[in-house]
């Protein structure tokens, strides 16, 4: 069975901290994505990666960076956490050039105090 | 720019009813359309994927249709059950590579016993 695993379900951090959210997929997918989900705003794409060490900005990249050193792992980094980054963060993956669905992790509920 | 709209935002029905959820998109040049289910505080689960060349897909009590020319998709749920209560999201994939999805805001369904 396909699996996207996010390292934490719940996380509480302080303003100004550097925060790492980790995501691992076991399906050898080329594409990986980070979204945030907020009430009334829906899912918004932060960054995506279409290959190892390759990345592209999504709709709301400000305040975030990403790292993809290995195909199976995609990390989201909050350089200096702020309270407006309190949100639900969702990781997903999918295969290139295929009609396969996008697979999501269970999400990380991040609170910045 | 592709925009995806879901109507209604919320729906409450008695158990046993058949129901239809609607999704519309502004650019008909899509690669596929996906329907997801999201339970509170959880990630997204893929329900159905319709390729751009297809008109419908079925899985159990669920049937999704696609009319590219009019920019519409519907998700039909037969004989609804309380366990169907969740938020349903549709998303369109615009290109064959990268797999980027554009999401609607979702319809929150409540099925009352």
Cα–Cα distances (Å) from B7 to A44, A103, B20, B73, in that order, read 19, 24, 10, 11
The whole-number pLDDT of residue A105 equals: 95
Cα–Cα distances (Å) from B56 to A84, A99, B97, in that order, read 40, 14, 23
Q: A90 touching B, CB under 8 A?
A: yes
Q: A89 touching B, CB under 8 A?
A: no
Cα–Cα distances (Å) from A81 to A16, B41, B55, in that order, read 5, 22, 45
Contact B101 A102 (CB under 8 A): yes
% of chain B exceeding 90 in pLDDT: 91
The whole-number pLDDT of residue A95 equals: 85
pLDDT digits (tens, 9 = 90+) for B22-67: 999 999 999 999 999 999 988 999 999 999 999 999 999 999 999 9
Give, rounded to a whole angstrom, the gap between the first and last alpha carbons of chain A: 37
The whole-number pLDDT of residue A83 equals: 97
The whole-number pLDDT of residue A100 equals: 83
Q: Rounded to 5 degrees, what are φ and ψ at B84?
A: -80, -10
Q: Tell me the pLDDT of chain A (113 aa) as tens digits.
A: 779 999 999 999 999 999 999 999 999 999 999 999 998 888 999 999 999 989 999 999 999 999 999 999 999 999 999 999 999 999 999 987 678 889 999 999 999 99
Strand order in the sheet with B56-59: B4-7, B19-25, B72-77, B62-67, B56-59
Cα–Cα distances (Å) from A21 to B31, B49, B80, in that order, read 30, 28, 37
pLDDT band at B14 (very low <50, low <70, confident <90, very high): very high
The C-alpha atoms of residue B20 and residue B107 are separated, in whole angstroms, by 11
> Best interface-test mutation with A: which of B3, B5, B43 has the largest number of A CBs within 10 A?
B43
A41 token code pair: 């705003």
Q: Is the pLDDT of residue B102 over 80?
A: yes
pLDDT band at B96 (very low <50, low <70, confident <90, very high): low
Residues 43-102 of B with CB under 8 A from A: 43-46, 49, 51, 89, 91, 96-101
> Best interface-test mutation with A: which of B44, B97, B102 has the largest number of A CBs within 10 A?
B44
β-strand B4-7 against B19-25: which pairing, if any?
antiparallel
Contact A35, A92 (CB under 8 A): yes
Positive or negative: CA dihedral B38, B50, B48, B9 = positive
Distance from CA of B69 to the nearest CA of A (A): 20
- Residue in B with minimal Cα distance to A99: B51
Q: Alpha-carbon dihedral of residues A39, A44, A46, A52, nearest 10 degrees? A: 130
Cβ neighbors of A24 (< 8 A, separation 6 or more) are A4, A5, A7, A72, A73
């Amino acid at each position: 069975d396909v699996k996207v695993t996010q390292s934490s379900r719940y996380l509480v951090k302080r303003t100004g901290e550097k925060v790492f959210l980790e995501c691992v997929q076991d399906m050898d997918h080329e594409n990986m994505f980070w979204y945030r989900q907020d009430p009334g705003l829906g899912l918004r794409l932060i960054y995506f990666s279409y290959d190892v060490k390759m990345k592209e900005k999504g709709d709301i990249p400000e305040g975030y960076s990403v790292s993809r050193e290995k195909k199976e792992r995609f990390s989201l980094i909050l350089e200096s956490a702020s309270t407006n980054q309190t949100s639900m963060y969702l990781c997903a993956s999918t295969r290139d050039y295929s009609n396969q669905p996008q697979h999501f992790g269970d999400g990380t509920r991040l609170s910045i105090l | 720019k592709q925009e995806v709209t879901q109507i209604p935002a919320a729906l409450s029905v008695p158990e046993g009813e058949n129901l239809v959820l609607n999704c519309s998109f502004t650019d008909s040049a899509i690669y596929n359309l996906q329907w997801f289910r999201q339970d509170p505080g959880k990630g997204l689960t893929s329900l159905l994927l319709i390729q751009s060349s297809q008109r419908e897909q079925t899985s159990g009590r669920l049937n999704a249709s696609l009319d590219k020319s009019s920019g519409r998709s519907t998700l039909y749920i037969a004989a609804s059950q309380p366990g169907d209560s969740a938020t349903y999201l549709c998303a369109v994939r615009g290109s064959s590579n990268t797999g980027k999805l554009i999401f609607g805001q979702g319809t929150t369904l409540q099925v009352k016993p």
